[in-house]
Chains A and B, each alone.
Chain A
Amino acid sequence: MSQLLTSAPHRGGLPAPVPTGPVRLHINGETRTLQLAPWTSLLDALREYAHLTGTKKGCDHGQCGACTVLVNGRRINSCLTLAVMHEDDDITTIEGLGTPDNLSPLQQAFVDHDAFQCGYCTPGQICSAQGLLNEGRAHSEAEIKELMSGNLCRCGAYTGILNAVQEVVAAQGEMVK
């Protein structure tokens, strides 16, 4: 597969030298050492270098949540962080949460509740919801809505998304009502 330098540098229109170095990441339980330039975002590293295209690029500016992954169990936007900042961190992407034959509870709930239409925002929604579960701070519908507000859905599948997340939160005994 060819490697696209989507966060490639440019200065005055001239091709700039690309000083890459090894960056060791633990992605979905597997240790990967990637040869990366300092300006490669974690998102581009995952998609273009680790070839894990489940994580999506929406806005590339922290405004949509499509690129959400878990770093050491916490959800962040992978587009606004550099891969070099995550040397030796544990990264979990949608590919690491479950497999087609063995869906994670959230993945199953998204299928059951029709929580997507085009599916582009879905990996980010599910990784974000997994982060929400790890945090353990959403105990009501209003709190789930607020704590999922960092993920936009252009198709407007919010009702299904809310139902799916609510079901898994409730199954873990975390709802207050």
Chain B
Amino acid sequence: MYPFTYSRATDVADAVRDKAGHGASAYLGGGTNLIDLMKYNVEQPAHLVNVAKLPLDKIEDLPDGGLRLGATATNADTAWNEQVKARYPMLNQAILAGASPQLRNAATNAGNLMQRTRCYYFYDIETPCNKREPGSGCSAIGGYNRIHAILGASEACIATHPSDMCVALAALAPTVRVSGPNGERSIAFEDFHRLPGDQPQYDNILAEGELITSLDLPEKGFAKNFTYLKLRDRHSYAFALVSVAVGLELEGNTITDARLALGGVAHKPWRDKSAEQLLKGQPATAETFGRVAAHVVANAVGQGSNDFKIELARRAIVRALQQATEGRQRATDAFLNSNP
């Protein structure tokens, strides 16, 4: 790890000012991703501004019927929040599917959005990587790429966004509130993360110095017919190979509204709005699900070691839609549902 200086911000304005006053600086949330990357010298900030103790840890009702998740609320406090459990159970399930209890106790909501890819070459500073060192090349293309993208990748980068929480958020479509040197703004969640294109060094559209202050969920939570299905190499404490978040609204057996997002398949949490359109007005049947799943992966491209993900994603989408329709998850797909 390289040396750095450290300060603890007292309020949002102080944090933004402090960061702007230092060149190569970074905000520090729970540290579970940033400190890890600093140990590998992948990230080398000269100054850290600790924002974890800013008064942004509340989870509170919004006047429009939505729910505000504070940026520094921990992933654990968010998942187990009574409002989240009751109104946005898909989010509860997605968060609990990720990492471990210890990590979720430290990790913040903003840090979860900002976490970087788990691409092995990104982590290994001895190998070329366009995301870590723009222009150096991509070692994953033509290399070992079992965990890499099948959708939306570019010739510069085929990395995936590793978050589970963000897949449920993509389906729930909150607004990300940020505060920066040029004031405050709100970003629709679907616009927050970006595809790699020829600038894979940018994971999202946050401008230099901008601090996330909250995630504002809309009222609609798909609390009745939802699922978060995560498929991985071991059943706990492992990143998703493919995950699927589904929220449905049904009238009888007809789908009246639908949300569908995938994790582990792209550089950003992959919400497919055209698939959602295909679901609307259709009967909730295996035939419909099969057609929609085929549509989602129609343009998927394998890179060699990750070819299996295309078929895995197709089947996972069918299973997720089935479970959302039934309003219950198979025991092996549910995370701690028995909790009172």
B36 touches A61 (CB 8 A): yes
Complex Cα spacing A10 to B36, Å: 16
Q: What does the 1/0 interface line of A43-77 toward B look like (CB < 8 Å)?
A: 00000000000000000111001001000001111
Total inter-chain residue pairs, C-beta < 8 Å:
105
Q: How far is the CA of A28 from the CA of B16 in the complex (A)?
A: 35
Residues of A within 8 A of B50 (CB): 84-85
CA distance A33 to B32 in the complex (A): 25
A13 an interface residue at 8 Å Cβ cutoff?
Answer: no
Chain B 25-38, CB-CB to A under 8 Å as 1, else 0, gives: 00010111001101
Best-surrounded residue of B3, B4, B28, B335 (most CB of chain A within 10 A): B3
Bound-complex Cα distance A62 to B123 (A): 15
For the complex, give the distance between the alpha carbons of A39 and B335 in Å: 35
Tell which of B30, B36, B102, B103 has the most Cβ of chain A within 10 Å: B102
**B-side contacts of A132, CB under 8 Å:** 101
A155 CA / B103 CA spacing, docked (Å): 23
Selected contact of B32 from candidates A77, A84, A145, A151, CB within 8 Å: A77
Stretch at the interface among A107-115, A135-143, A165-173: A135-143
Interface residue? A92 (CB, 8 A): no
Query: Which residues from A are CB-within-8-Å of B308?
Result: none
Closest to B35 in A: A80
Interface size classification for chain A: 35 or more
Interface residues of A in 8-34 (CB under 8 A from B): 9-11, 16-17, 19
Indicate whether A150 sits within 8 Å of B30 (C-beta atoms), given known contacts A9-B2, A81-B35: no
> By the criterion CB–CB under 8 Å, are A9 and B36 in contact?
no
The answer on a CB contact under 8 Å between A41 and B2 is: no
A137 in contact with B80 (CB, 8 Å): yes
**Chain B residues with CB under 8 A of A143:** 336, 338-339
Residues of A within 8 A of B32 (CB): 62, 77, 80-81
> Does A35 count as interface, using CB distance less than 8 angstroms?
no
Contact B105 A76 (CB under 8 A): yes
Pairwise interchain contact B102-A65, C-beta atoms closer than 8 A: yes
B101, A61: Cβ atoms closer than 8 Å: no
Tell me, yes or no, whether A7 is within 8 Å of chain B by CB: yes
Q: How far is the CA of A150 from the CA of B52 in the complex (A)?
A: 22
A82 CB-CB contact with B under 8 Å: yes
Q: Does A123 contact B (CB under 8 A)?
A: no
**Given known contacts A38-B48, A80-B36, A150-B237, A128 and B101 CB-to-CB distance under 8 angstroms:** yes
B52 shortest CB reach to chain A, Å: 7
Known: A38-B48, A81-B106. 9 other contacts (CB 8 A): A7-B39, A37-B3, A62-B103, A65-B100, A80-B31, A81-B30, A82-B28, A84-B6, A85-B8
Q: Which residues of B contact A (CB under 8 A)?
A: 1-6, 8, 28, 30-32, 35-36, 38-39, 48, 50, 52, 76, 80, 99-103, 105-106, 236-237, 335-336, 338-340
> Can you give 26 A-B contacts (C-beta < 8 A)?
A9-B3, A17-B3, A19-B5, A38-B6, A41-B35, A61-B39, A62-B32, A65-B102, A74-B76, A77-B32, A80-B36, A81-B32, A81-B35, A82-B31, A84-B6, A85-B28, A131-B101, A132-B101, A137-B80, A139-B339, A145-B236, A150-B100, A150-B101, A150-B102, A150-B237, A176-B338
